[in-house]
């Protein structure tokens, strides 16, 4: 049963006149009382209806009921409008059509270069700064201080940088313009005392290195190898027992730690450094547009809680909580799971205009909201952004199983990084798929992934 005070609380919410002290009682009322929620929807309907009638009346004759021109100023109940509501909607669609017909732009590197030229006075201690950032990234700096309060432009003095979710990424730019991009659940320690030294404990780093002096090449240490870089573009992935190196431009010297053997890896070649395996550079294979997860075989390269196959149930990956930072710096929790798609061992997986992503999984709550997304990068290794989509017809069966097919062209840049869109790809199409991930806003959704497959629509 609702009281007069409850109704007034809802009205203040609709009017936008809530006091701070109203917020908690409102949350409680709406959480516990279905009648209040229905009342809120009714009030919202009337509120919107009146606005619509007023907007249409003003548009119809250009004057208000008293014969004055309708040039409105905003108040708490209304919003400025010069077109009927549906016309605004149609305009939005028209804009999309025009954009789709005329452009498929990729963002140019120039903005990075402009930013670098604008670097302010150099401090003695800083060795670089952040030029791109998404998701929650932790930095352990001098003196062991740990912070996630990072943003584009933050100057760093060396230390360890670590991604905290499948969608985390950070690009660092050294003072000489060399860049390293750390993606996903990776951990990189970096320093520059006249020689750049990176320690990649685990994960994936893409780097574009400006020419270094022969006496002081950039060094990249992994568990199984050491790389010497004089100036080049490459991508390196470090696992517990192997290091995969892909060189896009220039040359990188790799030394395998288990036996001290070295090998020079030229442009467009790759090598995998693992004990007792052939240490011979191979041509980087042609990229592919088809890929299937291997969750049934092993939990390699996944983020989330892997649950092995049991009687009657496939192996699956359950979402776990991750933190995100909003553009305003506030933290929010999402429940996500992710799988690495392109790795150092196999051909890169590229999204084509007609690519589809088939996802099989389980959902405990039938009407839960589920977002699906990919993290992509340019062929040269630079981070391209996180792109996401959803399926409005996601319908689990009686046992919670679902299967959806998503179109690559529906993937949109994550709004969380929209402010960086000039520096990210405009679209994930023709980009390398670094990872696939999915998320829900609440743990109650109980989202699990059983299988993910990327294919082109004509080939399936």
Partner 1 sequence: MNLTENHTEEPDRELFVRLLMRHDRAIRAFLRSLLPTATDVDEVMQEVSVVAWRKFDELDDADNFRRWACIIARYEVLMHRRKKARDRFVLGEEIEQLIAEEGLEELSVREQQLAALEGCLDKLPAERRQLVMRIYAAEDPMKTIAGQIGKTPAALYKLVNRLRRELLQCVERTLAEAGP
Residues in binding contact with partner 1, number by CB under 8 A = 81
Q: Is there binding between residue 57 and partner 1 (CB under 8 A)? A: yes
Cα–Cα distances (Å) from 36 to 12, 79, 368, 375, in that order, read 13, 25, 22, 41
Closer Cβ to partner 1, 61 or 113, answer by number? 61
Q: Which two tokens stand for residue 291?
A: 């890929």
Closer Cβ to partner 1, 26 or 307, answer by number? 26
Beta-bridge mates of residue 65: none
| Continuous segment of H or E residues that includes residue 320 | strand 320-325
What is the rounded distance in angstroms from the CA atom of residue 394 to the CA atom of residue 403?
8
23-52 positions binding partner 1, by CB under 8 A: 23, 26-27, 30-31, 34, 37-38, 40-52
CA nearest to 429, candidates 384, 398, 399, 394: 384
Closer Cβ to partner 1, 53 or 119, answer by number? 53
Parallel, antiparallel or unpaired: strands 218-221 and 196-208? parallel
Q: x/- binding map, residues 394-433, to partner 1, per CB under 8 A?
A: ---------------xx---xxx-x---------------
Asked whether the beta carbons of 156 and 139 are under 8 A apart, the reply is yes
Closer Cβ to partner 1, 63 or 288, answer by number? 63
What is the rounded distance in angstroms from the CA atom of residue 346 to the CA atom of residue 244?
10
95-134 positions binding partner 1, by CB under 8 A: 95-97
* Buried/exposed code over 401-411 (b: 16+ C-beta within 10 A; e: otherwise): ebebebebbeb
Closer Cβ to partner 1, 146 or 418, answer by number? 418
| Continuous segment of H or E residues that includes residue 456 | strand 448-456
* Residue 5 C-beta: closest distance to partner 1, Å: 13
Beta-bridge mates of residue 202: 187
Angle of CA points 297, 375, 446, to nearest 5°: 60
Q: Which of 3, 21, 62, 74 binds partner 1 (CB under 8 A)?
A: 74
What is the rounded distance in angstroms from the CA atom of residue 162 to the CA atom of residue 345?
23
Closer Cβ to partner 1, 29 or 273, answer by number? 29
Q: Which of 1, 5, 11, 346 binds partner 1 (CB under 8 A)?
A: 11
154 three-class SS: coil
* Residue 392 C-beta: closest distance to partner 1, Å: 4
How crowded is residue 51: how many other Cβ atoms within 10 Å of its Cβ?
Answer: 15
| Window contacting partner 1 (CB under 8 A); options: 16-24, 187-195, 244-252, 262-270 | 16-24
Helix segments in 193-308, DSSP class H: none
Count of alpha carbons within 13 angstroms of residue 144, beta-carbon side: 0
77-96 positions binding partner 1, by CB under 8 A: 77-81, 85-86, 88-90, 92-93, 95-96
Q: Which two tokens stand for residue 248?
A: 């896009």
Closer Cβ to partner 1, 79 or 310, answer by number? 79
Closer Cβ to partner 1, 1 or 92, answer by number? 92
Position of tokens 């553009």? 327
Closer Cβ to partner 1, 177 or 400, answer by number? 400
* Residue 329 C-beta: closest distance to partner 1, Å: 9
309-348 positions binding partner 1, by CB under 8 A: 324, 326-328, 330, 332
453 three-class SS: strand
* Residue 434 C-beta: closest distance to partner 1, Å: 20
Closer Cβ to partner 1, 133 or 200, answer by number? 133
* Residue 411 C-beta: closest distance to partner 1, Å: 11
Q: Is there binding between residue 299 and partner 1 (CB under 8 A)? A: no
Q: Is there binding between residue 371 and partner 1 (CB under 8 A)? A: yes
| Window contacting partner 1 (CB under 8 A); options: 19-27, 167-175, 184-192, 218-226 | 19-27
* Residue 136 C-beta: closest distance to partner 1, Å: 14
């Amino acid at each position: 049963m609702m009281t007069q005070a409850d109704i007034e609380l809802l009205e203040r919410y609709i009017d936008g006149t809530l006091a701070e002290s109203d917020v908690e009682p409102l949350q409680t009322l709406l959480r516990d009382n279905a009648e209040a929620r229905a009342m809120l929807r009714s009030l919202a309907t009337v509120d919107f209806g009146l606005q619509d009638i007023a907007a249409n009346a003003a548009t119809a004759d250009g004057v208000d009921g008293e014969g004055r021109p309708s040039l409105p100023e905003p108040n708490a109940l209304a919003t400025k409008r010069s077109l009927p509501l549906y016309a605004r909607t149609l305009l939005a669609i028209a804009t999309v059509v025009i954009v789709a017909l005329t452009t498929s732009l990729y963002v140019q590197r120039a903005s990075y270069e402009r930013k670098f030229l604008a670097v302010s006075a150099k401090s003695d201690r800083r060795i670089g700064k952040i030029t791109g950032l998404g998701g929650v990234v932790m930095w352990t700096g001098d003196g062991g201080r740990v912070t996630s309060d990072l943003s584009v432009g933050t100057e760093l003095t060396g230390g360890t940088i670590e991604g905290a979710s499948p969608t985390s990424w950070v690009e660092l730019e050294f003072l000489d313009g060399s860049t390293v991009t750390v993606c996903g659940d990776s951990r990189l320690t970096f320093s520059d005392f006249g020689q750049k030294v990176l320690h990649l404990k685990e994960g994936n780093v893409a780097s574009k290195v400006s020419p270094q002096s022969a006496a002081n090449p950039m060094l990249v240490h992994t568990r199984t190898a050491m790389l010497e870089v004089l100036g080049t573009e490459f991508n390196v992935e470090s696992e517990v027992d192997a290091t995969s190196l892909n060189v896009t431009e220039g040359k990188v010297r790799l030394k395998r730690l288990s036996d001290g053997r070295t090998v020079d890896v030229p442009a467009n070649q790759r090598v995998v450094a693992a004990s007792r395996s052939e240490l011979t550079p191979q041509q980087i294979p042609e990229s592919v547009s088809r890929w299937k997860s291997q969750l049934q075989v092993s939990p390699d390269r996944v983020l989330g809680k892997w649950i092995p196959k049991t009687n009657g149930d496939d192996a699956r990956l359950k979402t776990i909580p991750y933190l995100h930072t909003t553009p305003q710096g506030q933290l929010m929790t999402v429940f996500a799971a992710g799988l690495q798609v392109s790795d150092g061992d196999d051909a890169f997986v590229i999204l084509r205009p007609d690519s589809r992503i088939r996802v099989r999984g389980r959902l405990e709550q039938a009407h839960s909201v589920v977002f699906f997304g990919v993290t992509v990068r340019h062929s040269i290794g630079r981070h391209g952004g996180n792109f996401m989509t959803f399926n409005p017809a996601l319908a689990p069966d009686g046992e919670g199983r679902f299967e959806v097919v998503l179109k690559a062209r529906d993937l949109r840049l994550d709004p969380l990084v929209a402010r960086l869109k000039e520096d990210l790809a405009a679209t994930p199409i023709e980009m390398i798929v670094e990872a696939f991930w999915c998320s829900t806003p609440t743990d109650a959704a109980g989202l699990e992934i059983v299988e993910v497959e990327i294919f082109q629509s004509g080939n399936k």
